[in-house]
Structure 1
Amino acid sequence: MHLGESSMPYKSVSIEIPGPKQRVTPKQQQITVATELKETVPGNVDFTSITSAIFGGLAGLMTLSSCYILYLRYGANVATFVGFKKLPASPVAPVPVLVVYAAEDPAFQGAVVALVEFLQSYGGCSVAVDMWQQRKIAELGPMRWLAEKVKTAQRVLIVCPKSSLRSSRCPPNHTFPEPSIPASAPDLYPLILNMVAGHAKSSRDLAKFCVVQLSEEQDNRPRNLAPELRACRSFCLMKDLTKLCRSLHGKDQDAKISDLIFRPRIVYTEKCT
């Protein structure tokens, strides 16, 4: 028996296979919005007043600065003139000064005492002189005492009389006791001359020594001075008293520029002594 085509029925089935889900990210859109800003300037602004105010402020500042500078320079004198009391100035270290003098007559000795007391009381100096340190001289000896004082002193004043004064003797004044000449004076004067001669080769060391002549006019004739003192700077009292006091304070290294500009000047006259 021959079989033909199969008569069995076929059933077709369709199957859907789901694929992977794809995530879609939404794109952000940037929107640019242009805005127009308008600034309104008021029409009633007075630029002249603003300029005047600026220049007025600058002028006031300059006036205040000028008044402050004038106060620093002349304020103390004006305040004293009005009636205010002047406060004491800040203490300043006194200048160490050594005074050596020739052994002359009591009149010359009295002039030396007046000079030493003036420098100690009014000249801002710490004076070392033999008449005030007799006990120390007796302990150390004249030569050692003089060497130590010359080393520590900033200035060494060598007081010598004028030759014309040696011949003219003043009449004795019995109202006040005449000052006596210390016994160390004849020894110290030759020693200081030898020290000056030893420093003659160095101008820096020789600048420490100054000659003070107690006469009305400075004697420029070299023969009237000791040969050792002719190279030293010389002052004549009372004529050069102001120059002498300025010279004694000329080595102040700690002085500020502002102090030198605004510091009140001190004028020395014969009335101070």
Structure 2
Amino acid sequence: METKRDLPLADMGRQLQGVRTWVVEDDPEWRDLVVDELERHGAVVRGIDSVEALYRELAVDRCDIVVLDVVLPGEDGLSAARHLRRIDDMGIVLVTGRSSAADMAHGLSAGADVYLAKPLELPVLVAALHSLHRRMASRRGSTHAVAREPAPVAARGTGDGWSLRAGGWELWAPNGRSLLLTVAERTLLQELFSAPGTPLGRARLIAALSPTPRDFDPHRLEVLVHRLRTRVRTATDLALPVRTLRGAGYLLVSTQS
């Protein structure tokens, strides 16, 4: 009987079905080629032209794997990999023309799961993504085998049942309903839940959300909170217990009277 190991490379790539993969590449021709190839193998793909644009996407959505070119305008792929590894467990693939052992070690130490040197054959990229996604699924499965439900990170001090679970990726309401969070929402709520009842300034929250706080538009924080409140209300029928402190920041409060 034919096994997965016996399948040709093109057939193996079909197992990217449904894998949310974002490709950050400033060369539009190469980016389009990569996007088309990954879509052909079943992945759900977005092409993005800069790290700054990637952060904007992550403010409202999540991906399984990000493919990062190292040399990009503005923030480079190595810096982005370090930041993403601190805030997320997504798969990170670095693609670069720098192929020395020292460059590879630097990339892997920055947080990359896979380091691929250019010139890069597309079937190699597909196979690498398939292998990485399989390892990620196995790792998560092993974690779940040890503990079927991750310990909640509770909103200490509120006393009304709001909590973060699944490593901070799920917000649970007192009525038992939950919401799967985006990267930015998770980061924001982890900061607020770490200090319930304590006002957190915009500067602290922005520093948690972006590795380049000076380039972060403060209006994006307001938009993030507004969207999160709307999503929480839709998913749980309850109001998010986060109060806006005009000119100061935000506060995680108790909804109990």
The TM tier, using the shorter chain, reads 0.3 to 0.5
- Structure possessing the higher relative contact order (Cα contacts under 8 Å, 6 or more residues apart): 1
TM-score by length of 2: 0.35
Q: Larger C-alpha radius of gyration, 1 or 2? A: 1
TM-score by length of 1: 0.33
